[in-house]
């Protein structure tokens, strides 16, 4: 009996807290998952409401996932319109210049949008950019309530979306799933707040941490399934970067090649760092027949004549300032790429280039492929070159977020700890 009373009191306390703040409504979903199973009918009914909220938000996230990698420099967003618990329409962000997720859903719903609740993974925009503001379309369609997962830090939005909706009588529930909203568009969030692309490092190594044998042989460290996954990652990046040493040693094409592509693949901008322009004129990466574009970054140490020789319809040369060691200044590089709307950059190596990005603290995420092989040899290269650090305390800290096996190889995705 006493236990029953205690449960009822717990229910009442939780219920009061839940209605006190919107944020708590979502916190209570976790409380439920943690097995705090209060049993009053009132509370169960309340949980049902908030859980269907979270179900609709999860649907919005899965819609956004469909658009991931195809919306740059815009974030990939999902939106769902719901009335009386029924999904009326679903939308997602279309390529930049076309409709945003909210407008996509509103167009599909037509008049049925009136009185609906919208679940959307990002604060709706309130500005005229390539497209008119979503907030205006939401108000005009008569949407009653908007739940969004995370605010849009774009200085043109940043709370203005919420304010516009509230000022026009729409009920707004913000910050429902901040962590998930951030994770899904982490490159966009980084780009829109720093003006620079989010940097991924990608490499394949053996169990003993080697990217090649002592003779420099590196084809192939991993098997076909892992390499195919590498191409899938390329398909989601805005740009891919290598140093000229890699071009000279491996002569890569740096295009996206997928065996199971059902739609057109994306060829990220190919970037070659080459401070003195040692790139051979026969390199495959500057082949005019390649799809997509190549950008060669150099410094004023290179010959003007060679710069002219390299330029073609799909190949451009950009001269940037150098650091004291005569290498391309990475800050200038990332700023220049941000100005060109590059939101994500995949650095593929080699070791020297990766060493420079790591030393400058620019690597936000690492995709490591590990092949179950041992090659040995002190002279065999490891993924990150440069001078390294003296003390473990100075190491860049990462957190492993995901692991997957591809064939015999393992893929580890780690994010920089903040
Ligand atoms: C939304 N829904 O689906 C997306 C949003 O140039 P525009 O008009 O396409 O606006 C781009 C900005 O809009 C972008 O930088 C980001 O702040 C936001 N993206 N907003 O309401 C969407 N993709
Ligand atoms: Zn919008």
Report pLDDT digits (tens) over 124-161.
Answer: 999 999 999 999 999 999 999 999 999 999 999 999 99
| Active-site annotation holder among 102, 123, 348, 365 | 102
Distance 13 CA to ligand 2 centre (A): 39
Inter-residue contact 87 to 108 (CB < 8 Å): no
pLDDT for residue 414 is more than 80: yes
pLDDT for residue 23 is more than 70: no
User: Which burial class, exposed, middle or buried, applies to 217 when counting CB atoms under 10 A from its CB (0-12, 13-18, 19+)?
Assistant: exposed
User: In the structure, which protein residues have their CB atom closer than 6 angstroms to any atom of ligand 1?
Assistant: 71, 74-75, 77, 93, 96, 100-102, 122, 124-125, 129-131, 134, 152, 154, 157
Task: Please state, in angstroms and rounded to a whole number, the distance separating the CA atoms of residues 118 and 367.
Answer: 35
Mean pLDDT of 192-204: 97
Inter-residue contact 368 to 411 (CB < 8 Å): yes
Distance 74 CA to ligand 1 centre (A): 6
pLDDT at 47 (0 to 100): 53
- 383 secondary structure, DSSP code: S
Q: In the structure, what pLDDT confidence band is assigned to residue 13 with cuts at 50, 70 and 90?
A: low
Of ligand 1's listed atoms, the one at least distance from the Cα of 135 is: 21
Q: Name the β-bridge partners of 90.
A: 80
Mean pLDDT of 61-81: 96
CA triplet 290, 295, 300: central angle to 5 degrees? 145
Ligand nearest the Cα atom of residue 64: 1
pLDDT at 77 (0 to 100): 98
pLDDT at 203 (0 to 100): 96
- Order of all β-strands in the sheet with 145-148: 86-92, 78-83, 117-120, 145-148, 171-173
Mean pLDDT of 375-400: 95
Count of other CB atoms within 10 angstroms of residue 282: 8
Q: Residue 77 to residues 80, 110, 144, 342, 396: CA-CA distances in angstroms?
A: 10, 20, 20, 18, 31
pLDDT for 331-362, tens place per residue? 999 999 999 999 999 999 899 999 999 999 99
pLDDT for residue 18 is more than 70: no
Distance 75 CA to ligand 1 centre (A): 7
pTM: 0.86
Q: Name the β-bridge partners of 322.
A: 328
Distance 47 CA to ligand 2 centre (A): 31
Q: In the structure, what pLDDT confidence band is assigned to residue 46 with cuts at 50, 70 and 90?
A: low
* Residue nearest atom 14 of ligand 1, based on CA coordinates: 74
Of ligand 1's listed atoms, the one at least distance from the Cα of 128 is: 8
Q: In the structure, what pLDDT confidence band is assigned to residue 4 with cuts at 50, 70 and 90?
A: low
pLDDT at 105 (0 to 100): 98
pLDDT at 254 (0 to 100): 87
Q: Which of 43, 33, 35, 50 is nearest to 13 (CA)?
A: 43
Substitution candidate for ligand 1 out of 121, 129, 172, 185 with most atoms within 8 A of CB: 129
**pLDDT, mean over the chain:** 90
Mean pLDDT of 53-63: 95
Task: Please state, in angstroms and rounded to a whole number, the distance separating the CA atoms of residues 317 and 329.
Answer: 15
The DSSP H or E segment spanning 352 is: helix 351-359
Q: Which of 108, 115, 160, 113 is nearest to 133 (CA)?
A: 160
Mean pLDDT of 380-395: 95
pLDDT at 48 (0 to 100): 54
Task: Please state, in angstroms and rounded to a whole number, the distance separating the CA atoms of residues 340 and 328.
Answer: 18
Task: Please state, in angstroms and rounded to a whole number, the distance separating the CA atoms of residues 315 and 86.
Answer: 51
Note the maximum CA span of the chain.
91
């Amino acid at each position: 009996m006493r236990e029953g009373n205690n449960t009822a009191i717990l229910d009442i306390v939780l219920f009061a807290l839940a209605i006190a703040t919107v944020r708590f409504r979502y916190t209570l979903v976790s409380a439920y998952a943690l097995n705090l199973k209060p049993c009053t009918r009132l509370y169960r009914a309340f949980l049902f409401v908030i859980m269907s909220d979270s179900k609709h938000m999860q649907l919005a996230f899965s819609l956004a996932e469909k658009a991931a990698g195809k919306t740059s420099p815009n974030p990939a967003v999902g939106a769902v319109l719901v009335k009386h618990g029924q999904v009326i329409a679903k939308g997602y962000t279309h390529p930049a210049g076309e409709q945003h997720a909210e407008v996509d859903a509103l167009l599909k719903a037509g008049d049925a949008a009136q009185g609906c609740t919208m679940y959307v993974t990002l604060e709706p925009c309130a500005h005229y950019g390539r497209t008119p503001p979503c907030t205006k379309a939401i108000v005009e369609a008569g949407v009653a309530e908007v739940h969004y997962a995370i605010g849009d830090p774009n200085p043109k939005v940043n709370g203005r979306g919420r304010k516009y909706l509230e000022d026009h009588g729409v009920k707004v529930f913000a910050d429902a799933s901040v962590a998930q909203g951030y994770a899904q568009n982490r490159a966009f969030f980084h780009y829109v707040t720093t003006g620079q692309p989010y940097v991924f490092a990608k490499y394949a190594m053996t169990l003993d941490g080697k990217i090649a044998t002592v003779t420099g042989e590196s084809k192939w460290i991993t098997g076909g399934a892992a390499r195919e996954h590498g191409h899938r990652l390329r398909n989601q990046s805005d740009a891919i970067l290598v140093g000229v040493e890699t071009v000279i040693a491996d002569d890569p094409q740096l295009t996206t090649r997928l065996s199971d592509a059902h739609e057109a693949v994306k060829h990220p901008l190919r970037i070659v760092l080459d401070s003195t322009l040692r790139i051979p004129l026969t390199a495959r990466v500057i082949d005019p027949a390649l799809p997509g574009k190549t950008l060669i970054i150099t410094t004023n140490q290179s010959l003007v004549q060679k710069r002219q020789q390299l330029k073609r319809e799909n190949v451009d040369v950009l001269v940037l300032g150098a650091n004291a060691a005569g290498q391309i200044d990475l800050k200038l590089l990332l700023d220049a790429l941000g100005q060109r709307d590059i939101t994500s950059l995949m650095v593929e190596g080699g070791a020297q280039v990766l060493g420079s990005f790591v030393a400058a603290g620019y690597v936000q995420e690492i995709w490591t492929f590990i092949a179950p092989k041992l090659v040995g040899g002190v002279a065999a290269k490891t993924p990150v070159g440069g001078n390294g650090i003296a003390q473990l305390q100075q190491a860049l800290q990462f957190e492993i977020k995901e692991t997957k096996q591809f064939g015999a190889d393992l893929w580890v995705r780690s994010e920089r700890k903040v």
